[in-house]
Structure 1
Amino acid sequence: MTDHRTAIVTGGAKGIGRAVAIRLAADGFATAVIDLREEDTAATVSAIEAAGGLALGVGADVSNSEDVARAVATVVDRLGAPTVLVNNAGILRDNMLFKMTDGDWDSVLAVHLRGAFLMTREVQRHQVAAKWGRIVNLSSTSALGNRGQANYAAAKAGLQGFTKTIAIELGPFGVTANAIAPGFIATDMLRATADRLGITFEEFLDGAAKEIPVRRVGTPDDIAAAASFFCSEAAGYVSGQVLYVAGGPKA
């Protein structure tokens, strides 16, 4: 028996995933950081360990069922059976519908939606056995529709339906499932968007802030704070919810 609970955060090498992994480790979870390449997880793992936490980096393609099974088995072996899962892994392949390729569509749906399904299916058996678990899926305000993101919006909306369904199915086993829908969060993933618009990243952030009621853009730590709550004992009666963390009600 381990004397800690184990959490898995996918897409934990940087951005929101990194912030969530570091926060959960600070909350006392042994934290497995999964990303496509194990070497990319090193900075997050080092940050957790430097703060006195227990962490493990694992390389895996979350859209591949064999990779997922191997990754979770590694976590069980090294850190203990996972009872917390944060499905954060994601990619962008933005384009207008008439220019969007089959590959643009398939790759985004595979990582976001299939990835969350495969990871959840693999981890839930450990949660059910423990009669306790927390699942947090990263959706987005884009789930409500966003120009140039038909693939991403569909995936993020799908995650909301997925979340509500697993909340119903796993609730009797002491497992909650919730989704966080971030608004505009300043991460490196958005630098490509700024480049495409022909403006600097700083100009992009300043312009976005003017449209947000609290007059600032979000940070990965804003999302990590919400994930921390959903993964806590205090959130045991909160399940099947979608929390928009977007600086205002416009979302």
Structure 2
Amino acid sequence: MLLLTGAAGGIGRAIAHRLMQDPSAALILVDRDEAGLRDLDDRLGGSSRVRLEAVDITDEEAVSALFARAAAEWGGVDVLINNAAYAYDESLLDTDPARWDEQIAVVLRSVYLCSRAALPHMRGRGGGVIVSMSSVNAHQYFGNEAYSAAKAAVESLTRSMAVRYGPDGVRAVALGIGTVITSGAWQRRQEQDPQIIERMSGWYPLRRLGTPDDVAALVEFVASDAASWITGTTLMIDGGLQAGNARLADDVLGFPQESALRERATGDRG
């Protein structure tokens, strides 16, 4: 049984759709948004292989009850995907303690609570997989201070779980995600600034932003036996953003890299 948090969001929906392509897959879809879960279930065809759980995964008692139900009714969680996240678009000085705690709770505390609840079953059955969403924000400054700090902690926790519970057959992997276009917030941002996606795409070597399907494909791989020797690390899925700063390189060189590469490619032809 696979449990996915944040299932009603854009990335969560893509992951659910991707995993349901496997006819043997059984999913527990978790989100605070009950209406969003019902809509997702409808789009998945109301499959008997899907269980919906409207749960606040920052609540210790609610999480314990969720995993107890999973064990009693469905045999336990073998693959946990910690996907839920939340961020305010504000600076450190603008973030009051309550909003800081809220972001840390959704991004980090939920990973701790769900992983802690899933691990006993995984260890008892001889293995399992914990996939936790991280971000390029854990590595470089892109704003959202509380969110970024929590994501860095998620990566540290991932390494800890991989080392401590690796002998029990448990794998723990984080995914370092770049900018992914989802509905909702991004739609509003585009309405306010129609050029924002085009402008941001220029920071990425692949000249595009990510899609939920890009992330879903990696989640499917990491959760599968094909990734059986991958643990304790963060796999970056960021369109090359952290490979280097192309715009800075252009400024240093004094002309666009693309022009330089074209000249270099044709220069030896005489």
Q: TM over 0.5, yes or no?
A: yes
Match of 1:122 in 2: 117
Match of 1:85 in 2: 80
Report the alpha carbon displacement of residue 125 of structure 1 after superposing the two structures with TM.
1.0
Report the alpha carbon displacement of residue 29 of structure 1 after superposing the two structures with TM.
2.1
Letter in 2 for 1:199: D
SS in 2 for 1:98: coil
Indicate how the Cα distance of structure 1 residues 198 and 156 shifts in structure 2: closer, same or farther if over 3 A, else same: same
Match of 2:235 in 1: 243
Is residue 4 of structure 2 the alignment partner of residue 12 of structure 1? no
Q: Distance in 2 between matches of 1:183 and 1:93?
A: 17
Match of 1:3 in 2: none
List structure 1 segments (4+ residues) > 4 angstroms apart after TM superposition.
none
Q: Is the 8 A contact 1:26 1:53 kept in 2?
A: no
Structure 1 stretch 18-27 or stretch 226-235: which is displaced more? Answer: 18-27
> Equivalent of 2:36, from 37, 40, 56?
40
Report the alpha carbon displacement of residue 170 of structure 1 after superposing the two structures with TM.
1.3
TM-score by length of structure 2 reads 0.84
Give the 5 Å matches for 1:1-251.
6-27=1-22, 28-49=24-45, 54-188=49-183, 190-191=185-186, 194=189, 198-200=192-194, 203-250=195-242
Q: Distance in 2 between matches of 1:47 and 1:82?
A: 23
Residue-by-residue CA offset, 1:97-149 (whole Å, 9 max, x unaligned): 22111122110100110000000000111111111201100000011233431
Q: Is the 8 A contact 1:12 1:18 kept in 2?
A: yes
Q: Distance in 2 between matches of 1:166 and 1:90?
A: 20
Work out which of the two has the higher radius of gyration on C-alpha atoms and give 1 or 2: 2
Report the alpha carbon displacement of residue 53 of structure 1 after superposing the two structures with TM.
6.7
Q: Distance in 2 between matches of 1:46 and 1:105?
A: 35
Instruction: List alignment gaps of at least 5 residues for structure 1.
Output: 1-5
TM-score by length of structure 1 reads 0.90
Residue-by-residue CA offset, 1:47-103 (whole Å, 9 max, x unaligned): 3346x6711110111111011012222333443311000001111112112211112
Indicate how the Cα distance of structure 1 residues 248 and 232 shifts in structure 2: closer, same or farther if over 3 A, else same: same
Residue-by-residue CA offset, 1:208-248 (whole Å, 9 max, x unaligned): 21221111111011111111111101111110110110111
Indicate how the Cα distance of structure 1 residues 33 and 209 shifts in structure 2: closer, same or farther if over 3 A, else same: same
Q: Is the 8 A contact 1:136 1:178 kept in 2?
A: yes
Q: Is the 8 A contact 2:111 2:132 kept in 1?
A: yes
Indicate how the Cα distance of structure 1 residues 229 and 147 shifts in structure 2: closer, same or farther if over 3 A, else same: closer
